[in-house]
Amino acid sequence: MGQLAVKQLARRSNSRKIILSAHTLLKPRHTHAALFVSAALTAAATAVLFAKTQVPTRRPVPSQSQAQSQPANAMNHALIVLDPAHGGPDAGARLGDQLVEKDVTLAFALRLRVALQTAGFTVLTLRDSDHASLFSTDQRAEIANRSHAVACLVLHATAAGSGIHVYTSALQPPDTPDMPVGLATGAHPAPFAPVPWDRAQAPAVRQSLRLQSDIAAAIGVANLPLVVGRASVRPLDNLTCPAVAVELAPLVADGQDTLPVTDAGYQQHIANALTRALLSWRGHADPALPLPPRPFARPGGPGGGVR
Mean pLDDT across 115-132 = 93
Say what the pLDDT of residue 130 is: 87
Reported confidence tier of residue 290, pLDDT bands at 50, 70, 90: low
Taking 60 as the threshold, does the pLDDT of residue 306 lie above it?
Answer: no
* Burial degree of 294 (CB within 10 A; 0-12, 13-18, 19+): middle
Q: Does domain 78-172+194-297 have CATH number 3.30.365.10?
A: no
Residue spans per domain, the chain: 78-172+194-297
Please report, for residues 117, 148, 162, 213, the alpha-carbon distance to residue 217 in angstroms, rounded to integers and kept in the order given: 21, 24, 17, 6
Say what the pLDDT of residue 94 is: 94
Cite the DSSP H helix spans in 148-263: 205-221
- pLDDT tens per residue, range 142-193: 999 999 999 999 999 999 999 999 999 999 988 755 444 444 333 444 455 6
- pLDDT tens per residue, range 205-215: 999 999 999 99
Reported confidence tier of residue 222, pLDDT bands at 50, 70, 90: very high
- Report the alpha-carbon distance of residue 86 to residue 198 in Å, rounded: 19
Q: What is the DSSP letter of 18?
A: H
Pair type for strands 164-168 and 226-230 = parallel
Say what the pLDDT of residue 97 is: 86
Reported confidence tier of residue 41, pLDDT bands at 50, 70, 90: very low
Say what the pLDDT of residue 160 is: 94
- pLDDT tens per residue, range 261-281: 999 999 999 999 999 999 999
Please report, for residues 2, 117, 213, 227, 285, the alpha-carbon distance to residue 150 in angstroms, rounded to integers and kept in the order given: 116, 14, 15, 23, 7
Say what the pLDDT of residue 195 is: 72
